[in-house]
Amino acid sequence: MNLFESKTTLPSTTKSMNRSPLRCGLIVITLAFFCFELSPQARAVCQDACLTNNNTVQGDDALVNYTTGFSDTAIGAAALLSLTTGADNTAIGFNALYFNTTGDTNTAVGTFALYSNSAGVENIAVGVSALYSNTTGNLNTAIGDAALFNNTTGTGNTATGYFALIANTTGNDNTATGGNALYQNTTGYSNTVEGSNALALNTTGYENTANGVNTLYFNSMGFRNTANGLSALRFNTTGSQNTADGANALFHNTTGNTNMAIGYNALFSNTTGGSNIGVGAGAGSNLTTGSNSIDIGNRGVAGEGSTIRIGTTGTQTNAYIAGINGVTVAGGVGVMIDTSGHLGTVVSSGRFKDAIKPMDKASEAILALKPVTFRYKHELDPNGIQQFGLVAEEVEKVNPNLVARDEQGKPYTVRYEAVNAMLLNEFLKEHNEFLKERKTVEEQGATIARLEKQVEALTAGIEKVSAQLRLSKSAPQSVVNN
């Protein structure tokens, strides 16, 4: 196998690496050192095994330049060749820790492992060309062919797997486990990756966590994402602060931020939508660009936003929510629900209404309704409490607009809020009739009172005239008698 040949296929990136000047340069370096070894003048004295100053050496030119270094182990041609004062280093393999001079406590196992390290300390490289370009980076661990190959000054990185963190240069505190994990990371830091090709195209993104093959594969600059499961957040590029837990969760997300997907295929189709929550297998999988939706056990609707969906019609047939019964909400309004499970309140503002006109005689239909008493069937109400109301099928015969229907179009329940409005209209009509009658009676009473006064006045006038007549009749008789 070629020294830098990938064991898996990585789109264009791996191929370009196989043809890169870096690879060609390494081949030239290898040939140069091969010629260097053939030169008799360049060969070290110790070709077998020897022990000096607590150093262990075996191989041509191994530890050839050391001065005061101690407790170093060099096994392999040109291993620790440039070391002068560094201590406690272990180099096993051709050209391992070749340029190390003052670096301490490094371990390199494999041809060209930690090849360029000069002053870096406490690095561990196991594998061909692992930590090849490291110069002053410290506390790095690379296990696998070309793992952390380009790291120069990055510190505290751990790469386990062929080509893991291969492009990292100055990024710190990254952990990559799996072939091609964090493959293109350069300066991104504090990323934690476990799985082949996880965060493979990340460059500057930081504080991401990816567990699973192809998780956060295309992420480049997104930060603080968490992806657990095969291909979770696979197409994310710059989206940040997302959480995907489950295979293919947030699969198509590219730039959406602060989404949470828990479950297989949760929020699968979301691309740019933000602050969405999907809980359950396939939850919110139809959402695309909308934001601020919550889908629990529901696939959602493409393009919608700011919507809450819990459960699926036809699948969940009962709902129990604690903390509602017996709780009074002052100033609240009644909650309505349609046959699709859509919750809401009835709006009464004229802003939402068209074709407004008086109800007039339309409410007279309720006069034909037949209220009944009944008990629900045992499976609905085991206690058999007596109920009062209407039968939807009977109401439909009177006015079809007074019933709500199920998914099959059959009468399901009565629109009692509409019945109440019609009752109000009939009451007002009767009340207005009563007011008219009372007004008529009052007017009649006033007329009668006026007539009574007139009668009284007439009666008084008649009595006065009668009295005068009586006086006039008695006066002549007195004269005659005299």
**Residues 140 and 151 sit within 8 Å (Cβ to Cβ):** yes
- Res 414 pLDDT > 50: yes
* Predicted local confidence at residue 355, as pLDDT: 94
The confidence score (pLDDT) of residue 444 equals 92
Share of the chain above pLDDT 90, in %: 76
Q: How confident is the model at residue 478 (pLDDT cuts 50, 70, 90)?
A: low
Assign 9 a pLDDT band (cuts: 50, 70, 90).
Answer: very low
DSSP 3-state of 478: helix
Q: What is the pLDDT of residue 383?
A: 94
Distance CA 302, CA 477 (A): 119
Q: What is the DSSP string of 61-120?
A: TTTTT-SS--S-EEESTTTTTT-SS--S-EEESTTTTTT-SS--S-EEESTTTTTT-SS-
**pLDDT at residue 54 tops 70:** yes
**Which residues lie across from 260 on neighbouring strands?**
243, 277
The per-residue pLDDT for 427 is 96
Joined tokens for residue 417 = 């809020």
Q: Looking at the predicted structure, is the pLDDT value of residue 44 above 80?
A: no
Alpha carbon distances (Å) from 414 to 276, 348, 373, 393, 408: 36, 20, 15, 9, 16
Residue 126 pairs with which residues in a beta bridge? 109, 143
Residue 463 pLDDT class (50, 70, 90 cuts): confident
Of 236-250, 257-271, 280-294, 311-325, give the lowest mean pLDDT range.
311-325
User: What's the Rg (C-alpha) of the chain?
Assistant: 47
Supply the pLDDT for residue 35.
40
CA dist 77 and 59 (Å) reads: 5
Q: What pLDDT digit, counting tens, does each position of 326-358 carry?
A: 888 888 888 888 878 899 988 889 999 999 999
Tokens matching residue 312: 């699926």
Tens digits of residue pLDDT in 90-130: 999 999 999 999 999 999 999 999 999 999 999 999 999 99
Per-residue pLDDT at 7 exceeds 50: no
C-alpha to C-alpha distance for 129 and 113, rounded to whole angstroms: 4
Residue type, 406: D
Give me the chain's average pLDDT, please. 88
Whole-number Å distance between alpha carbons of 250 and 263: 10
Q: How far apart are CA 380 and CA 325, in angstroms?
A: 18
Give the pLDDT confidence score for residue 293 in this predicted structure: 98
C-alpha distances in angstroms, 204 versus 13, 145, 185, 190, 480?
Answer: 16, 23, 6, 11, 146
Task: Provide mean pLDDT across the span 452-474.
Answer: 86
Mean pLDDT across 83-94: 95
pLDDT tier, 477 (very low <50, low <70, confident <90, very high otherwise): low
SS3 annotation, 234-265: CCCCCCCCCEEECCCCCCCCCCCCCCEEECCC
Q: Within a 10 A sphere around the Cβ of 444, how many other Cβ atoms? A: 10
CA–CA distance, 352 with 155 (Å, rounded to integer): 63
Q: What is the mean pLDDT of residues 153-159?
A: 97
Q: Do you know the residue count of the chain?
A: 482
Average pLDDT for 363-388: 95
**Of 427, 261, 229, 187, the residue nearest 253 (C-alpha):** 261
Task: Tell me the average pLDDT across 168-185.
Answer: 96
pLDDT of residue 465: 87
What is residue 278's predicted lDDT score, i.e. its pLDDT?
A: 99
pLDDT at 187 over 50: yes
Q: Residues with Cβ < 8 Å from 154, sequence gap 6 or more?
A: 134, 137, 140, 148, 168, 169, 170, 171, 172, 174
